[in-house]
Every structure is written in structure tokens, then in C-alpha cells.
């Protein structure tokens, strides 16, 4: 099967990058896989070093005349390459390929993965649903249900949750954990708990809700918490919020990291307290590392947990609920966090694996190729 994956992000790209790279790693040796992404993107940098993958510098501009030029080039590219599947991941690439495929004698099937819960009732979505979508992949039940009363209600929808490399992401040993804790925080007392997130530092990711919750703790508990948040350096507004909390010296920002194990390996508990979330790679990666997770009830986030033994769910944007849960965590017996981490790891091994993710995605592609209509 000849498959083109596309990405619109010029910079980091977040979960879209992880999503595409995981599919490439699993399908790349058995299928003819291509990636179209801006040359300055993080995805381009990652894929440039991957064997079995063809890489193309593609941009998806909204400026009208530039867009027309890009669509003409895409049309010629599609005619030359004769892809079976084009797998798009955002509105801009979806739009470009809808336009580029119009009138082609043998257009590729267009699969759109819906990664978020933003509105889908615009004119653009109506056109793409009617003229440029063979199938939709929704990353959670929550996301899939949001399409039931939308322009995509007549398009087949497959619920395929994120897969992650559970062989690469594993719990670390005690020695390495101690080294990583020292790397980020210096020497820590044995009763200190480190909470970590690799979900990014955007305000909507909710890390400031953890900070606010920690600030509400009694002094004897407050001094026992440390927080590490990987992602782009936070802006002045978020840093001011952190400073006002009174615990800024207990929070570390390692920046964007290529290997999240260096962050999560230092932690006792992971957290994803997003204000909106379709599913969350970060949550799944954290559980694979053998950490119980503190999550919000936003969107599809709770779908990651199979039982209360794997973590805690709190209301969105509720520092008081976070504080209450933190007190519960600090009161747990010394071996309970480790047991919960083991349960989270078992869940990841059973349900989060790359092969399961790839097999389900490939099944969606095969179903698309059998469809006679767009």
C-alpha cells in the first residue's frame, strides 16, 4: 500500500508528530510510506533520519494565491505518485488535498484523523465531509461521538486510540531514577514526591492547576512536592502565575526534550490536567513508564484509565479538588504508588501497543480502499 501522511505544523507539532512517527515505525517496512510536512517542522527533522520513509517538504498555506500554487503542485504530485491513501491530520492539509484531488481519474482515498474536539460545522468542514473524506479516524469515543450530529455523520468513523511504543517506554530502575531526580532537582529527601508532565506548558494543559492545588496544601505537605513540566518554555503570563503561587522554586522546566524518559523517569506520579483533551499521548506515555496518573475529566482523558488502581480523576480547572487528591496521595502507604504504577504499566502493555494501533489503522485503510464513493 502506498500511503502519504501529512502534517501542517511548522514547529513542534505536539501529538501529531508522535502519531505519525508511530505509524511510520510500525508500517514503514511493509508499505511504501511518505511524509509531507514543512521543512522547518520537528516532524521533518525526525523523519529525515528514518529509513524506509520518503520525505517531501510540503506547506499548507491559507493565503489565497499561495494556496492555489500549492494545490496545483499537489495535484501534479498526486498524479505522478498515485497514492492509495492520503492520511491528513488537520484542516489545512485536508482542504489542500480535497482541492487537489478534484477531477482526478484515480484519486487517493483521504483519511482524516480528528485529534481534537473543536467545532466541525463550518463551511469548510461541510465541503470536506462531502467532497474530500473517505473515512474519519477518531482518537477516542468522546471525539467520535462529537461527529454524530455533524457534516461527517454520513462518513464512516473508526475509533482508534493512540498507540505508543511500550517497549521503548518502560519503568526505570531505582538507580537511574535517583540520578534523574538529582539531575532536575538536586538532592531530595526520601519523602518528597515528584509529579511530572510531558504534555506541554500551554495554559490549557492545566499544569498551573497542579501548582495552584499544591499551593493550597498544608505547609508540611507543600514542602514535599516537586513538579517537572516538559515543553516549550512558558511565557511571562504563565511564569507570573507560577511566581504568585509561592512554590516557583519547586517547579522545573526542562524545555522540549527528544527523550521523555529522562523526565518521567524522575517522577513518582504523572499528571495531565488539560482543560480540553481528545485522548492524550502524554497520559499513555506516562502510564507506560509505570507511573500512576492524576488527570482531569476533560474530553476523552478518562478513557485512558481502566480502573481506579491506575490513577485519579479530578474536575477540570479545580485546584481545590487537586489539593484534596494530593493530600490523599501523600497519605497512601509507602508501597501503594508502586502498585498503582504497576497497574498502569499493565494497562499500557494490554491496550496501548503500537501493533494494535497500526493493525486497526491499516484495517481502516483497507475499508477505505473498498469504498466506491468518497
pLDDT < 50 regions, the chain: none
In this predicted structure, what is the pLDDT of residue 373? 63
**Average pLDDT of the chain to the nearest whole number:** 96
Same domain assignment for residues 114 and 231:
no
Q: Is residue 246 a part of any domain in this protein?
A: yes
Q: Is residue 75 a part of any domain in this protein?
A: yes
Number of domains in the chain: 2
What CATH number has the domain bearing residue 55?
3.40.50.2000
Same domain assignment for residues 238 and 281:
yes
Q: Which residues form the domain of 257?
A: 174-351
Please say whether the beta carbons of 264 and 196 come within 8 A. Answer: yes
Same domain assignment for residues 150 and 200:
no
In this predicted structure, what is the pLDDT of residue 11? 75
Same domain assignment for residues 216 and 333:
yes
**Local structure of residue 332 (DSSP, 8 states):** S
Same domain assignment for residues 286 and 314:
yes
In this predicted structure, what is the pLDDT of residue 363? 98
Question: What is the C-alpha separation between 265 and 173, in angstroms, rounded?
Answer: 9
Would you list the DSSP string of 199-261?
A: S---GGG-HHHHHHHHHTS-HHHHTTEEEEEESSPP-HHHHHHHHHHT-GGGEEEEES-S-TH
Question: What is the C-alpha separation between 70 and 263, in angstroms, rounded?
Answer: 40
Same domain assignment for residues 86 and 208:
no
Q: Is residue 169 a part of any domain in this protein?
A: no
pTM: 0.90
Q: Is residue 267 a part of any domain in this protein?
A: yes
In this predicted structure, what is the pLDDT of residue 268? 98
Q: Is residue 168 a part of any domain in this protein?
A: no
Q: Is residue 118 a part of any domain in this protein?
A: yes
Same domain assignment for residues 308 and 324:
yes
Same domain assignment for residues 141 and 153:
yes
Residue 247, phi then psi, degrees to nearest 5? -125, 25
Q: Is residue 13 a part of any domain in this protein?
A: yes
Question: What is the C-alpha separation between 121 and 146, in angstroms, rounded?
Answer: 11
Q: Is residue 329 a part of any domain in this protein?
A: yes
Amino acid at each position: 500500500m502506498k500511503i502519504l501522511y501529512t502534517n501542517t505544523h511548522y514547529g513542534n507539532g505536539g501529538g501529531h508528530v508522535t502519531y505519525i512517527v508511530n505509524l511510520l515505525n510500525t508500517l514503514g517496512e511493509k508499505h511504501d510510506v511518505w511524509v509531507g510536512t514543512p521543512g522547518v517542522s520537528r516532524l521533518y527533522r525526525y523523519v529525515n533520519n528514518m529509513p524506509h520513509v520518503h520525505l517531501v517538504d510540503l506547506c499548507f498555506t491559507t493565503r489565497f494565491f499561495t494556496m492555489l500554487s500549492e494545490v496545483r503542485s499537489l495535484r501534479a504530485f498526486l498524479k505522478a505518485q498515485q497514492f492509495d491513501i492520503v492520511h491528513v491530520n488537520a484542516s489545512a492539509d485536508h482542504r489542500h488535498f480535497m482541492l487537489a484531488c478534484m477531477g482526478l481519474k484515480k484519486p487517493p482515498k483521504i483519511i482524516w484523523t480528528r485529534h481534537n474536539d473543536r467545532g466541525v460545522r463550518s463551511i469548510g468542514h461541510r465541503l470536506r465531509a462531502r467532497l474530500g473524506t473517505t473515512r474519519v479516524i477518531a482518537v477516542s469515543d468522546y471525539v467520535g461521538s462529537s461527529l454524530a450530529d455533524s457534516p461527517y455523520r454520513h462518513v464512516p468513523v473508526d475509533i482508534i486510540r493512540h498507540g505508543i511504543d511500550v517497549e521503548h517506554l518502560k519503568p526505570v530502575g531505582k538507580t537511574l531514577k535517583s540520578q534523574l531526580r538529582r539531575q532536575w532537582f538536586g538532592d531530595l529527601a526520601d519523602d518528597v514526591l515528584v509529579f511530572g508532565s510531558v504534555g506541554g506548558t500551554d495554559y490549557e494543559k492545566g499544569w498551573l492547576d497542579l501548582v495552584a492545588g499544591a499551593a493550597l496544601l498544608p505547609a508540611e505537605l507543600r514542602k514535599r512536592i516537586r513538579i517537572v513540566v516538559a515543553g516549550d518554555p512558558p511565557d511571562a503570563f504563565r511564569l507570573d502565575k507560577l511566581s504568585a503561587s509561592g512554590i516557583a522554586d519547586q517547579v522545573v522546566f526542562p524545555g522540549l526534550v527528544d527523550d521523555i524518559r529522562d523526565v518521567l523517569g524522575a517522577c513518582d506520579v504523572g499528571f495531565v490536567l488539560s482543560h480540553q483533551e481528545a485522548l492524550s499521548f502524554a497520559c499513555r506515555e506516562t502510564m507506560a513508564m509505570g507511573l500512576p496518573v492524576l488527570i482531569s475529566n476533560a474530553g476523552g482523558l478518562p478513557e485512558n484509565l481502566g480502573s481506579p488502581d491506575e490513577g485519579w480523576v479530578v474536575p477540570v480547572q479545580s485546584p481545590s479538588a487537586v489539593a484534596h487528591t494530593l493530600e490523599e496521595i501523600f497519605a497512601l502507604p509507602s508501597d501503594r504508588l508502586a502498585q498503582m504504577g504497576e497497574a498502569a504499566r499493565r494497562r499500557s502493555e494490554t491496550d496501548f501497543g503500537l501493533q494494535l494501533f497500526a493493525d486497526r489503522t491499516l484495517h481502516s485503510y483497507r475499508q477505505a480502499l473498498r469504498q466506491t464513493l468518497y
